[in-house]
Structure 1
Amino acid sequence: MSDLHQNGPELDLVGLPPSVRRYVYEGKDQFFRILQLERKRLLDSMRNSHNITDTHTESGNNRPEKIEITEYIIFSINPTTFHQDFLGPDPISLFSIRASFNPRTGLLIVKMITGMHTAFAFAIQDEIDNALGRMGLDEAIYLYHGVSFDINGQNKEADMAWGPRRLPHKTERNVHRDIDLWLDPHRGKANVAITIRINRQRPMISIDKWMWDSNNGTSRRSQHIEASEDKMGEVKVSGGPLIIPFRFFFLRDPDPRTRETDVIIDKECLQTVRSKRLAAKNRDPHHFVSSVTELEIGLFIEDRKACHPRIKRLSMPLAHFQKKKIKAMLDVRDFS
């Protein structure tokens, strides 16, 4: 596969529905007008889909009409304009959206944040923070929200990212706290990528952990977990628990003399996530009408050149971070 093909528009668009609208970027005012228009269209589509689902449910039909809903917008923009308007001294505010830009293709992919998106991001964050807290390490790690990464010229935002406050002795220790946190072209590269799919119409969660296979030069799925709920409300988990190695967060092995251990997301944690999902749904049901939400967690990979495009997309935001060493990332994606 040639470099041109790897960096072509088809790779940028992997996983996006065909209904995504495309625009040519014409300035900040036009960008905000389109964003307002598309957000209204998204919310209207969600409400219409919700009403149709209710109608079919009342009539006993369990197969509601398929309505394609997308949170994404695509803009064509040249790199100079992107850096000026999005990264310059007076950048466009990215509050309530996430953005990914590839200068090779000139494509800016914007994702509008929904209530479901935010609810799951914070639910997973809470479980990771709780696990670190049980080890007494909740103050030993930085948590970043909506951080922007530059990976070989490509810019992408992660919903959340984690990194150690103090680096182990064998790594660089000269941390400049007053410098931007974004780019370090000589460090990074993830070791594991985790995808979490939550079905919004059925009480089921699927978790896949992807590792880099150096022998075959490609990514492989190393673990598959399914958590489902029966009619009595009992959660059943197969293939679990999900274990995130301690060293992926702190760049060292846990100290056996302390409570330090791997981060474990078990049946109880998944039940907690489900409870937070229901609470968020009750607050704003119109944001929960699509069938599946997908979360993506990335923790440092050794080499992504031969990664499957889907895995490459989700691990990209972790790679290069300036001065602060980000070791874990959470990126949430909603799919209808």
Structure 2
Amino acid sequence: MEDNSKVPENANENCPGLGSSNAGKESSCAGCPNQSACASGEAAKEDPAVAEVAAKLSNVKHIILVLSGKGGVGKSTVSSQLAQTLAMDDELNIGLLDIDICGPSAPRMMGLEGQEIHQSNEGWSPVYVEDNLAVMSVGFLLPSKNDAIIWRGPRKNGLIMQFLTDVVWDSLDYLIIDTPPGTSDEHISIIKYLKSANVAGAVVVTTPQEVALLDVRKELSFCAKTETPVLGVVENMSGFICPKCSHESQIFKPVSGGAEAMCDELGYELLGKIPLDPDVLMATEGGKCFYREKPESLTSTAFKNIVDKIVDKCNSEVKEDAEMS
């Protein structure tokens, strides 16, 4: 069976992949900007940036990508709260990298609006929320939070490369990477550059309704094609639990069975369901750790269970690698 999982940047939808003997030669390759390079074998050559990124991030134990196929499902909320919840353990060092170039949310959600990064001879210093929690985002580079970033793909890719090679992280236990929705330039670049780094896998975020699940299926397909491990799926805004009577209502009704049915069908693990909770909104708007603020709530319990599963998966992966070596 041919390896069709490695897909070059800007490839056509039905790309056979760099590992295929038909790379650049199939009918689906017609009109693709990579056709000549694939047919000659040039596209399959290792980008030297891959080794550079791996060396720069060698002090990061676990890299976790937070993905979604659709905007508005709470991906940045999950990213920021995951980082803050992990950082509650003082023995862990956590980094949050926001590569949503056109819609950076990390400065607001981490309570860091108005902060600036500092540059030294070593590179860019991230902004610290706490001694063990550092954040990097393009939002720190903008003169005003209202400024729009109107960039084409190559410039976005260049900034992502800078984030991966020029940011001076301390030794990190977890680096959470908050990505934009979709499967476009930023995703292709981050997967390519992290090829030889310690990527634990992706956490894919969705909401229960079918219109979101349709796009999340594409995101899971992207992960399969790019050989990105999937740690599991999180269903966000999964029902509303009344804070007074604890009755649950389905605001976004899972007409097709929601993330649970999708995971059963496709063979992925459902890490958990996070209820629609106004207190989560208030925590993220204020840059607070929700679990720290409301540790006894049902939503906190659900989220902490998800975080524990992610940690267990990362630790078991390290154990398996040690046993194999």
Judge same fold: TM > 0.5, yes or no. Answer: no
Please give the TM-score of this superposition, normalised by the length of structure 2: 0.24
Which has the larger share of helix? 2
Please give the TM-score of this superposition, normalised by the length of structure 1: 0.23
